[in-house]
């Protein structure tokens, strides 16, 4: 079943009066309908024809220009004597004027441009929120991921065959996409964009969750996430090892392409004034495709892991890892160079490659939807604490292997299995007392460390005035 923005899919849409009929009525109506926010994102492969593709590409660059100009304007307004913080409402008025002056800006539907400004509002709000990890909004490069936001009332969806549907975009008309799963909710917004492998549309969908879900039956588990062993679940005998994201052949090809890119870049600099040749562009595209494939495989594995855990366990305990802090560079400063910089950067790559933060985020919403519970426990010393006798001793981890041998009671086990049990024990001993993060209710906010002032100041001073000048 597919639901157009028309209220086929549910009482939620009818309740809040945000069916297609009322959505087109006017701004006031939409505002009221905002109570029904998108709570799920569904992503589909889109097949625009040649003309549509060209126009979408042009629009995505226009969106980037709107973002960069609006950001530069906000920075300028704040640094000026007036010290004002501009918001989307004010900038939307200027946008209307600018659209009269520039044909290319006029081509982008006004709703999309306004949506970009609202996204900038959100970026600012996240930056000011001490519980949110976001830094200061960044200018977007030409090579940045392309995306065009479209508000929900501007699009329609219809199904044309079992697997093919069409989405109606303003000014462009019907665009085909592959309906790989049902859209079971009310579409609130959409973003159409492309990565290395092609065009996609992501619908923000409001799904009505009426029934209180029953708690999954399985036993409580602790989950230890690592680099050597991807994931160790406490009630399983072996680690769940994520296979390599690229086959050996693909890895070799990626290395070759990267060498080719370096060579072509050097040539372009020496002979072409830095202008990219068509061959270089093709190489960059091929590298992007391989990276996109890698990202998909990682996302696929993570989703399968978290869905499986959330389906089968009522209580899941994880370490409260500060991924951002852990990945802080070891480089240090010029006066005080850090130690083991290369090793640390390699470790950082490993941490980023695993996507722990994303796994945690998925576990949070998946356990919540299924009526389960996610508990994040302090991570300190989980790998050194014996689950048998509770003695914490770094010497229990002799050598660099994965073996845990307790110095207190002589208990030996796979180190990550032991850590998973320790995590579970900590969660069970703190459960119900508060002070720990509950999946869902407390959410990520309660456990993220509010960043210190130093970090924030640093991130704010990251945009020098020269960047603004080049963006304008
Ligand atoms: Zn012990």
pLDDT one-digit tens code per residue, 154-185 = 899 999 999 999 999 999 999 999 999 999 88
Active site residue 125: no
Considering the candidates 49, 319, 364, 413, report the single residue annotated as catalytic: 319
Total tally of structural domains belonging to the chain? 2
Question: How many angstroms separate the CA atoms of 226 and 404, rounded?
Answer: 15
Annotation marks residue 416 as catalytic: yes
Are 74 and 177 in the same domain?
yes
| 169 shares a domain with 81 | yes
Q: What is the mean pLDDT of residues 370-382?
A: 84
User: Rounded to the nearest whole angstrom, what is the distance from the C-alpha of residue 131 to the centroid of ligand 1?
Assistant: 37
Predicted local distance difference test score (pLDDT) of residue 285 = 92
Domain CATH number, residue 362: 3.30.420
* CA 137 – CA 117 distance, rounded (Å): 12
Question: Are 121 and 180 in a shared domain?
Answer: yes
Q: Could you write out the DSSP letters of every residue in 290-344?
A: HHHHHHHHHHHHHHHHHHHHHHH-SEEEEE---HHHHT--S-B-SSSB-SSHHHH
Residues 186 and 321 in one domain: no
- The segment with the largest mean pLDDT, out of 130-139, 173-182, 214-223, 314-323, is 173-182
- Residue 241 CA to ligand 1 center (angstroms) comes to 27
* The pLDDT of residue 16 is above 50: no
* Stated length of the chain: 472
254 in a structural domain:
no
Over 60: is that where the pLDDT of 257 sits? Answer: yes
Active-site residue among 320, 364, 373, 416? 416
Confidence of residue 306 (pLDDT cuts 50, 70, 90): very high
Query: pLDDT band at residue 325, thresholds of 50, 70 and 90?
Result: low
User: What pLDDT is stored for residue 440 in this prediction?
Assistant: 37
Is there a catalytic annotation at residue 224? yes
What spacing in Å lies between the alpha carbon of 415 and ligand 1's midpoint? 12
Please tell me whether residues 182 and 235 are part of one structural domain. no
Whether 170 contacts 109, CB under 8 Å: yes
- The more confidently predicted of residues 428 and 210 is 428
Structural domain boundaries, residue 179: 7-210+465-471
Taking the model in full, what pTM does it have?
0.73
């Amino acid at each position: 079943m597919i639901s157009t923005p028309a209220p086929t899919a549910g009482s939620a849409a009818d309740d809040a009066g945000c069916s297609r009929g009322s959505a087109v009525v006017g701004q006031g109506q939409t505002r009221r309908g905002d109570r029904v926010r998108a709570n799920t994102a569904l992503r589909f492969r889109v097949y625009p024809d040649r003309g549509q593709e060209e126009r979408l590409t042009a629009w995505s660059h226009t969106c980037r220009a709107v973002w960069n100009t609006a950001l530069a304007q906000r920075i300028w307004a704040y640094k000026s004597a007036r010290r004002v913080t501009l918001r989307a409402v004010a900038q939307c008025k200027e946008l209307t004027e600018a659209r009269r002056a520039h044909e290319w800006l006029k081509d982008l539907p006004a709703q999309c441009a306004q949506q970009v400004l609202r996204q900038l509002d959100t970026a600012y709000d996240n930056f000011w929120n001490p519980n949110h990890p976001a830094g200061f909004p960044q200018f977007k490069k030409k090579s940045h991921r392309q995306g065009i936001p479209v508000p929900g009332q501007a699009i329609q969806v219809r199904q044309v065959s079992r697997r093919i549907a069409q989405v109606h975009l303003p000014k462009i008309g019907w665009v085909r996409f592959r309906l790989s799963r049902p859209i079971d909710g009310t579409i609130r917004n959409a973003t159409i964009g492309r990565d290395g492998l092609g065009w996609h549309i992501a619908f923000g969908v409001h799904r009505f969750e009426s029934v209180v879900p029953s708690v999954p039956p399985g036993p409580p588990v602790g989950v230890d996430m690592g680099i050597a062993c991807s994931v160790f679940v406490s009630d399983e005998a072996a680690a769940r090892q994520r296979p390599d994201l690229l086959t050996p052949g693909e890895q070799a090809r990626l290395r070759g392409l990267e060498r080719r890119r370096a060579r072509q870049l050097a040539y372009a600099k020496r002979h072409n004034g830095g202008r990219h040749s068509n061959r270089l562009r093709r190489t960059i595209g091929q590298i992007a495709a391989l990276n996109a494939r890698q990202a998909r495989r990682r996302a696929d594995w993570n989703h399968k892991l978290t869905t499986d855990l959330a389906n089968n366990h009522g209580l899941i305990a994880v370490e409260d890892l500060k991924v951002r802090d852990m990945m802080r560079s070891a480089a240090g400063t010029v006066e005080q160079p850090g130690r083991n910089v290369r090793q640390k950067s390699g470790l950082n790559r490993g941490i980023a490659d695993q996507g722990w933060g994303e796994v945690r985020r998925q576990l949070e919403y998946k356990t919540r939807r299924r009526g389960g519970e996610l508990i994040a426990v302090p991570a300190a010393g989980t790998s050194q604490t014996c689950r048998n006798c509770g003695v914490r001793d770094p010497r229990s981890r002799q050598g660099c292997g994965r073996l845990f041998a307790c110095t207190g009671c002589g208990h030996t086990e796979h180190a990550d299995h032991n850590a998973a049990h320790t995590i579970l024990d900590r969660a069970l001993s703190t459960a119900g007392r508060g002070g720990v993060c509950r999946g869902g209710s407390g959410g990520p906010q309660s456990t993220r460390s509010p960043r210190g002032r130093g970090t924030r100041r640093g991130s704010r001073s990251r945009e020098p005035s020269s960047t603004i000048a080049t963006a304008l």
